[in-house]
Amino acid sequence: MAKKLVTDLDVAGKKVIVRVDFNVPHKGDVITDDNRIVAALPTIRYLLENNAKVILLSHLGKVDYKKTEEEIEAAKKKNNMAIVAAKLQEYLPDNKVIFVDATRGEDLEKAVADMKEGEVVLMQNTRYEKGESKNEETLGRYWASLGDLFVEDAFGSVHRAHASTVGIPTVLRSAAGFLVEKELKFLGDAVENPVRPFVGILGGAKVADKLKVINNLLEKCDTLIIGGGMAYTFLKAQGKEIGGSLVDDEKLEYCKEMLDKAAALGKELLLPIDTVVADAFPDPIDAEIETEIVDVDSIPADKQGLDIGPKTAELFAEKVKAAKTVVWNGPMGVFENPVLAKGTNAVAKALAECEGTTIIGGGDSAAAIKQLGYADKVSHVSTGGGASLEFLEGNGLPGVDILDEK
């Protein structure tokens, strides 16, 4: 059944807790990419325009409670939400944004109690609380006590059953925000009701990271393209010599099974036909590097593959440009290095030129398409890498599943 949307709630005069994804990259006090803040603005502005009092919760970075007290405090200092509050205020010049440097207690409770309609309270990093990632019931109930309604708009966190994503809506009436609605629509339509031909593209390092995605997409799509480091495990499963290329030997049988499954289903599973090789992985990652291009049947024993070759790039691009639906998750090579970004660039360019629905499944693919300048030329760039993968695997999303049905 369909989930309630923020537009289904009567928010006027209500304190609405919104779980947003403000986990933005930053260097010191400077936010280097504010796309996640911008992505949350439609829901925040809708609530403010409809006279709600908006309480925002988000995590920022990681706090590892297995480390020493000194390391934990350093992580908290590094991931203070104050920098996000300042940036959010720039985007909401007509509304007061109040930052509360606390995740519970008198200061937070007073700030919420004193709120006026059209004001925003941004609470300190949810991961300052040890019980957040454990979905501690008392923490979820405490945060829920601060508001009247809950809106989930952090697609990048809905695959995690945390106190701020699952604990709060266990108590309060809830709905999805505009960003979560958009993500579910694009990914849901692509996987469950695609316009064909439907092409899936998977890259990245390890087969193990995408076992269920490969299996699920093979059943859904017409063509599955495999690139990146994971392609070499498939090539080895075909009996090819891959030199020093990245390989997941424990998944060779799985790759053989997937190749057999594709053949049995009449699906096309495309692997590289040529590759860019070098003596070693670049260190640092953007260092100058000498490469050569070889067919995948001729990878030298002392070389390793680090990107798809030009013939493969052309083959993959042709398939992408002819598709009506494309979902891409994972780069074709070490795209952080200019010399090894050509394969990823070719696929990104093909997506930009494709006239069908083109969806980037978050993570490194999203970073690559933005870095290469094609983000505004595709249909949708997901804000959640982990959540996108869970969705593509066919799994439920705890932070969505808990929301009220229409």
Which residue numbers are catalytic? 36, 206, 363, 386
- CA–CA dist 205, 258 (Å, integer): 17
Query: Which residues have a Cβ under 8 Å from the Cβ of 172 and sit 6 or more positions away?
Result: 17, 144, 147, 148, 149, 150
Contact 61, 78 (CB under 8 A): yes
In total, the chain counts a number of residues equal to: 406
- CA–CA dist 256, 187 (Å, integer): 28
- CA–CA dist 259, 31 (Å, integer): 44
Q: What is the identity of the amino acid at 27?
A: K
Distance, CA of 374 to chain centre = 17
Contact 214, 258 (CB under 8 A): yes
**187 Rama class: left (phi>0) / alpha (psi -120 to 50) / beta:** alpha
Neighbours of 298 (CB within 10 A): 12
Measured distance between the N- and C-terminal CA atoms of the chain, rounded to whole angstroms? 7
